[in-house]
Amino acid sequence: MRGRVWHPDRAVAIVVFLIATLATPAASQFPGELRGSVTTESGRPVAAAQVEMPEVGLSTLTDAAGRFSMRGLEAGRFVVVVQRIGFAPWAGEVEVTNGRVAQLRVALVEAAVELEAVKVVAEERVAGAAVRLAREQIERAGSRTAGDVVRLAPGTVVQEGSTGGAQTVSIRGSGAAAVLVLLDGVPLNDPVTGVADLSTVPAGAIESLTVIAGAQGARYGPRAEAGVVLIETRSAETGVEGRAAAGSLGEWSVAGEASTAIEGIDVSVGGHRRGIGGAFDYPRVEGVDETIERRVNADLVERGAFAALHTGAAGGEVRVRAGAASLDRGLPGKGYAPSPAARQEMDRLRGAVTWRRSARQLATTVSLAAVSQRARFADPSPPFGLPYDDETRVRSYEARGEIGRPGGSGALRGMGSGVEVHRQHVDGGSLSEGAPRLRTDAGAFAHTEAGLRFGSWDFEVSLEGRLDRDGLADRWYPNRAIGVHLTRGPLALQLTNRSGYSPPSLGDQFFREGVAVAPNPDLQAERIPSEWEIGARSTGHFFATDASAGVRLHAGDVRGMIVWLPDFRFVWSPRNSDVKRRGMELWGEIDHAASGLRLAGSYSLAAVTYDREGDADDVQVAYRPRHTSQLTATWQGGPWQAGVAALYTGERNPAPAALNQLEGFWTLDLDAARSWRVPGADLTTAIHVDRILDEKSTLIFGFPEAGRRIRFEARVRRADES
C-alpha cells in the first residue's frame, strides 16, 4: 500500500471526540421524539402499518419488526392513528416532552375492515416501483454485503466475478453505471468507472436498503437512468450488540456496536472486520477442459467503523453519520486465464450531516456530505497486456436543500422544491493525461401532488421536474415524471411517464489506451427519453391471512446505451448503441400470521435488445438475462425461524450476438435461526447455507463458483430501556 495510511479506528475516535465536545445536553433546546411498536394481540410484529400524527402532518410505516419512530416533535399532546389492512384502526393520545423520548406500544385487533385507501397506498406511491428491505430482513437472510441485500429485491441482477469480489447491480437490463447508488444520500458510484461496488458496504452497517426501479432522473438526477438504490446506514438506537460468524472458504467476521441516549441525544459507534481465504478447486473450463485447478488470490480482508448522532437543533432534528472502511483483496481473474498477483486496495472516509424541521405546514431539509476515497489496482504479471499499478484518489462534496409542504387529504396533497450542488476532484493514475480532474454539477428540482375523491375512488396526479447541469460536458439535461394514481379500497392503479439519463464515465472516455482496447472521448450520455409504466396492486385479508399481489409493465427505449463493441481491426472500445427495452414485473405474497408462514414469489421480464435492422433485431444485450424469478418461504414459530429462497437466472448471451448462449440456472439458499433469552440479553444463533444443492453455474462465463457454502453466526443484543 502506497501513501499515508489512515486507520478507521482512529477516524471513529475523532468523530466520537467531536460529538462529545460539541453536544450540550440541554433538554429544553431539543424537540421530542416518539418511538414505539405495533403488534397483534398475540404479540406478533405488524409490518407496514401506517402510524400518523394528523395534527402535525407526519406519518411513517412500521418496519419488519413492527417498530417506528417520529422525530423533531414539538412539546404537547397529540393524537396518534395506526392503520393496517386486515386490522381495526387504533387511535389514542401521546404526550411529547422537549428532549425526551415518548414510548408507545399498540396492539391491533384483527378485523375484516376496509380502510382509507389513499393514506395506506401513498407511502409506496411516492417512491414509485420501490422495494424497501429493513434491518430485520437483512439479518434474517444472512446477507454479508449490500450486494447480497439487493439480490433480495425482484427485478435486480447482481454481477460478482468471484467470491468476495466486486458486486454491481443491473435493474431492468441496464448497465451497472446506469444505476445510481446513494449511501446516506451520497453517490457510491465510482467517478472513474461510473459503477458502484456494493461489496464495499457491509450488510451489518445497513439500517435499510430501498431499490427503486425505472427512470428516476426527475427525482435523483444523473445516473438514475434505470433505477436507484438507497442505502441508509445504522442510526443511533439504544443498546449494545455483538456479532460473530465463521464458515466455508475460510470466512470469518466480527462486529460490534454500542448506542445510548442521554437527554435527547442519541449516539452510537461500531465497527467490523471480515476475512475470506477464498481458495477452492474447480475445472478449468467446465464441460470442455476438466483439468482441476486451484482458485488462488481470492482472499479478502476488510474492516470498517461508523458513528451516528441524532439530536435536536434550531427547532428541528439533526442527524450526523460518519464512516470509515478499507479493504484489501485479490483479483483472481477468469478460471482459464487466472491473475495470481492482481490486487485491489480501497480506503474510504465519509460523513454526512442532515437537518430537518417539520412544522404544521412546512418541512425543510438541509444536508451536507463529503467523501474521500483511495483505490489502487495493481498486477505485476497479468495474463494479458502490460503490468499496471494505478492509484485513484477522489474527493467529493455535496450540498442539498429542500423545502416542501407535507401531504394532506385536500386537493393539494403536497409540493416542494430544492437545489443541490456536487463538486468532485479526481486524481486518477489509470486516466490519460488529457482527462479532466475537476467537475462541478448542479441540479434544481420541484414536485407537486394534487387529488380529488369521486365516491369511493381517489384520483391523484403527481408532477416532478428536474434540470441538471453536467459540468464536464457543459450541458443541461431536463427530466420529468408525470403520474396518475387511482385507489379504491385495497386496489391501487398507476400510469407513469418519466425520463432519465446517465453520463459517460471518465474511464470510458479517458482511460489509457492498451492492447486491443481504446477509449472513446466522443461518448454521449445514455438517455431514456420516455419510459411508460402501468401498474396495479391489491391487498386483502381472508381466513386470517394477509395477501398482496401486483404487476408492472414498462417500456422505454435507451438512446445511446454505452456498450463495448469491436471495430474492423477488432479493437474494443465503448460506443453508443440504441437499445429497445420492454418488460414486466409480477409479484405476490401470502402471510398467515397464526402459523407464522409467509410465501412470496416474483417474476421479471427484461427484454433489452439491440436496435438493429434484419435478423439481429431481437438479440439480447450481452449478459442481461431476459428472465429472472425468485421464490421464498419463511416460517417463524416462537424462538425458531427458518427460510428457503430459490433464485432463477435466465439465459444470457456472452457476446453481442445470439451465439453460444449460456443456459439459465437455479440456486437454492437456506437459513435457520433460534433466539435465546440469556441473563440481561437476547442471543440469536443462525446457520446460512448458500447454494445448498452445490450449484456451480455463474452469471458470467469463465468465473468459477465454489458451490455450497455454510456459515454459522451468533448475535447478542442488550437493549437499554432507559
Between CA 715 and CA 263 the distance in angstroms is: 28
The x, y and z cell numbers of residue 30, run together, are 431539543
**Within 10 A of 443 (CB to CB), how many other CB atoms are there?**
22
Instruction: Give the strand pairing for 179-183 and 227-233.
Output: parallel
| Assigned CATH topology for domain 31-115 | Immunoglobulin-like (2.60.40)
The x, y and z cell numbers of residue 282, run together, are 474447480
Burial 81-119 (b: 16+ CB within 10 A, else e): bbbbbbbeebeeebebbbbbbbebebebebeeeebebbb
CA angle 100, 316, 34 (to 5 degrees): 35
Between CA 239 and CA 259 the distance in angstroms is: 5
Closest CA to 250 of 219, 228, 274: 274
Evaluate whether 31-115 and 125-135+137-718 have a shared fold. no
Q: What are the domain boundaries of the chain?
A: 31-115, 125-135+137-718
Q: Which residues contact 638 (CB under 8 A, 6 or more apart)?
A: none
Half-sphere exposure in the Cβ direction for 617 (13 Å, CA): 3
- DSSP H helical ranges for 115-208: 117-127, 135-141, 146-150
Terminal-to-terminal C-alpha distance of the chain: 45
3-state DSSP call for residue 582?
A: strand
**Within 10 A of 364 (CB to CB), how many other CB atoms are there?**
18
pLDDT in tens, 560-607: 888 877 776 777 788 888 999 999 999 999 998 888 899 999 999 999
The x, y and z cell numbers of residue 594, run together, are 397464526
Instruction: Give the strand pairing for 186-187 and 179-183.
Output: antiparallel
pLDDT in tens, 28-42: 334 567 888 888 766
**Within 10 A of 287 (CB to CB), how many other CB atoms are there?**
6
What integer pLDDT is reported at residue 112 of this predicted model?
41
Cβ(442)–Cβ(421) below 8 Å: yes
CA angle 532, 535, 538 (to 5 degrees): 170
What integer pLDDT is reported at residue 375 of this predicted model?
92
Sheet containing strand 90-96, edge to edge, reads 58-61, 50-53, 76-83, 90-96
Per run of 10 residues, the mean pLDDT along the chain (length 722 residues) is 45 40 38 78 72 76 76 75 79 73 80 34 43 82 87 87 86 92 88 88 86 92 93 72 94 91 84 94 83 93 91 86 93 92 94 84 89 93 88 92 75 89 87 85 94 88 94 92 91 94 88 72 92 93 87 94 77 87 93 90 93 72 93 91 94 86 94 90 93 92 92 85 48
Cβ(685)–Cβ(319) below 8 Å: no
The x, y and z cell numbers of residue 220, run together, are 435523483
CA angle 381, 387, 393 (to 5 degrees): 120
3-state DSSP call for residue 508?
A: helix
3-state DSSP call for residue 199?
A: helix
Report in angstroms the alpha-carbon separations of 289 from 115, 127, 292, 335.
Answer: 62, 49, 9, 11
Report in angstroms the alpha-carbon separations of 134 from 303, 539, 596, 662.
Answer: 23, 20, 19, 34
Residue type, 224: A
Cβ(62)–Cβ(51) below 8 Å: yes
Strand partners, 148: none
Between CA 45 and CA 462 the distance in angstroms is: 33
Closest CA to 389 of 398, 381, 401, 400: 381
Between CA 633 and CA 641 the distance in angstroms is: 11
CA angle 441, 444, 445 (to 5 degrees): 135
Report in angstroms the alpha-carbon separations of 431 from 372, 392, 437, 597.
Answer: 18, 9, 10, 53
Q: For 514, which DSSP code?
A: B
Instruction: Give the strand pairing for 58-61 and 50-53.
Output: antiparallel
Q: For 677, which DSSP code?
A: E
What integer pLDDT is reported at residue 722 of this predicted model?
45
Q: Which residues contact 466 (CB under 8 A, 6 or more apart)?
A: 217, 218, 219, 221, 443, 444, 445, 446, 478, 479, 480
Between CA 154 and CA 126 the distance in angstroms is: 19
Return phi, psi of residue 47, to 5°.
Answer: -85, 155
Cβ(135)–Cβ(66) below 8 Å: no
3-state DSSP call for residue 55?
A: coil
Closest CA to 631 of 641, 645, 643, 611: 645
The x, y and z cell numbers of residue 62, run together, are 412500521
The CATH superfamily label for domain 125-135+137-718 reads TonB-dependent receptor, beta-barrel domain (2.40.170.20)
